[in-house]
Amino acid sequence: MLIPKNNANQMRTRILVKIVEKFLQGRFADADRIPLELRPKGEPFSRCCIYKDRAILKYRCMASMGFAPEDETDELTSLKEYGEKALERSEHAPNKLAVITDACSACVKSRYMVTDACRGCFAQPCQVNCPKQAITIVNGRSHIDETKCIACGRCQEVCPYHAVIRVPIPCEEACPVGAISKDEFGKEHIDVEKCILCGKCLQSCPFGAVVEMSQIVDVIKHIHEGNKKVVAMLAPAVIGQFPGTINQLIGALKKVGFADVVEVAAGADVTTRNEAAEFIEKMENGEKLMTTSCCPAYCKAAEVHIPEIKPFVSHTKAPMYYTAEMLKKEQPDCVAVFVGPCLAKRIEAEKDPNVDYVLTFEEIGAMLVAGGINVMDCEPEDFAKISSAQSRRFPVSGGVAGAVASLVEGKADYKPTAINGLSKANIKLLKQYATKGCDFNMIEVMCCEGGCVAGPGCVALPKKSAIMVENYVKTGPNLKEMDE
């Protein structure tokens, strides 16, 4: 699902920039002005009044500081105070998504609706094909009785004028695991036990009511305290996310304050070798199937929602794990910050003692903008470690399976396929593969359609980014052979 640029996600980025700016200007002393600066008097407002706009902006600022709006105990607590609390905390922000109840539009139940395009035709295929006789002709047009409708969609399929449309609830529609649902007042709430932190609801809510708990304040605090080296572990999906070259971006991140920048593709080399070895071993032992384990949203979905597929999930760790492990062996006292396209990496980081924080490309972009740093003006620098071309393809759908293929060829019968995007339909498909078998023995599963280049923390269009990743694989510097 392509999420176009819109006012909601652009405002999220503007808030992140403001948060960093207010820290740099005076450690949040002026933070209470953010809602006023983003919604000044005299400019159009998007809700009932400018004051509600500002109230919602305050909640969104809280989330960007790492506080869940739903946990607010005193409405008079200022953003300045929240900023001070963020700087005082020793634990990072909670890893969850939340709904700003006052921003939620309480969308009506998903339904089918007949539009003005209906011509009241003689054929009446909508009425004839309705299995519940929910459609009647009223004043020369089709009418759907919502008390009888089972939302099967047959009327939409057969209408020759495309006069029947489906009106969805965007966040519920996007969630592949049913983790977001309405309360008795029609407001949406997220079940953190069910949530796989894929971010699809965050991307799809037209009202900006879904927010993530950012760790950006925790990271900039460490950078500016200067007590420890803060190292950025840069995911390969970064190609195409920012202007300039990857080497200029390394230079830009060092200007932000990162002491070093390491390439997570180096850890992906270890993942490839281990996953290939595990696949060969499983096939020799007579097992019928293995799935990849690089996507943390998929791994949690398998654990909580798809128990049938769980036995087939690879035990190999993701590239972030191996990169952080290598980093901490070399610099045990550093603060390790994974920088990538994914919110679900925060779930993975919770279980990894070597990863301290997770930031998205969007958050890194906000740090660059707030610091007045133009990537294209920065001196290029190199990664400390080099990686293989195969591992730099990990963020594109098919990349992980392709990398493994390069090491299992001639050693095992390798029949891969890809689940390109975790959806309700693809979850059913995975259950079917696990219980009824399939013609494949390796399944690469990516939660985001197109791969990690389409993650909720990306700032570039997925297709453009995917093309640039492929180009970088072919022409990028410092490549090595996988088997070295």
The pLDDT > 90 percentage for the chain reads 77
For the chain, how big is the Rg over CA atoms in Å?
Answer: 24
Cα–Cα nearest to 96, from 183, 18, 222, 189: 189
**3 state DSSP class of 129:** helix
Q: What's the pLDDT at 8?
A: 84
Cβ 354 vs Cβ 321: under 8 Å: yes
Is the pLDDT assigned to residue 480 strictly greater than 90?
A: no
Q: What's the pLDDT at 484?
A: 43
63-82: per-residue pLDDT in tens?
999 999 888 888 899 999 99
Cβ 146 vs Cβ 163: under 8 Å: no
Is the pLDDT assigned to residue 330 strictly greater than 80?
A: yes
Both tokens assigned to 467? 């093309």
* Domain formed by 111-167, architecture: 2-Layer Sandwich (3.30)
Cα–Cα nearest to 311, from 291, 294, 296: 291
Which one is predicted more confidently, 312 or 409? Answer: 312
181-221: per-residue pLDDT in tens?
998 888 999 999 999 999 999 999 999 999 999 999 999 99
125-143: per-residue pLDDT in tens?
999 999 999 999 999 899 9
Is the pLDDT assigned to residue 366 strictly greater than 50?
A: yes
Q: What's the pLDDT at 2?
A: 47
Q: Which CATH code is given to the segment(s) 7-106+171-214?
A: 3.30.70.20
State the average pLDDT over residues 84-101. Answer: 89
Least confident of 25-34, 283-292, 472-481: 472-481
Q: What's the pLDDT at 340?
A: 96
State the average pLDDT over residues 158-179. Answer: 93
- Residue 323 backbone class (left: φ over 0; alpha: ψ -120 to 50; beta: rest): alpha
Provide the pLDDT confidence category of residue 53 given band limits of 50, 70 and 90.
Answer: very high
Provide the pLDDT confidence category of residue 474 given band limits of 50, 70 and 90.
Answer: confident
State the average pLDDT over residues 154-169. Answer: 93
The span from the CA of 484 to the CA of 481, in Å, is 6
Q: What's the pLDDT at 215?
A: 95
Q: What's the pLDDT at 1?
A: 44
Break the chain into its structural domains and give their ranges: 7-106+171-214, 111-167, 218-480
Helix residue ranges per DSSP H, 351-398: 361-370
Provide the pLDDT confidence category of residue 44 given band limits of 50, 70 and 90.
Answer: confident
**3 state DSSP class of 413:** coil
111-167 matches 7-106+171-214 in CATH topology: yes
Is the pLDDT assigned to residue 9 strictly greater than 90?
A: no
Is the pLDDT assigned to residue 177 strictly greater than 70?
A: yes
Provide the pLDDT confidence category of residue 476 given band limits of 50, 70 and 90.
Answer: low
Q: What's the pLDDT at 111?
A: 87
Q: What's the pLDDT at 43?
A: 84
Is the pLDDT assigned to residue 386 strictly greater than 80?
A: no
Both tokens assigned to 250? 């390394």
Question: 330-341 burial, b if ≥16 CB within 10 A, otherwise e?
Answer: ebeebbbbbbbb
Task: Please state, in angstroms and as integers, the Cα–Cα distance from residue 397 to each residue in 170, 316, 481, following that order.
Answer: 24, 18, 21
Which one is predicted more confidently, 480 or 409? Answer: 409
Cα–Cα nearest to 422, from 342, 322, 339, 340: 342
DSSP 288-302: --EE----HHHHHHH
Q: What's the pLDDT at 472?
A: 85
226-275: per-residue pLDDT in tens?
889 999 999 999 999 999 999 999 999 999 999 999 999 999 999 999 99
Partner residues linked to 253 by β-bridges: none
| Average pLDDT for the chain | 91
Provide the pLDDT confidence category of residue 323 given band limits of 50, 70 and 90.
Answer: very high
Q: What's the pLDDT at 151?
A: 87
The pLDDT > 70 percentage for the chain reads 97
Is the pLDDT assigned to residue 464 strictly greater than 60?
A: yes
**3 state DSSP class of 188:** strand
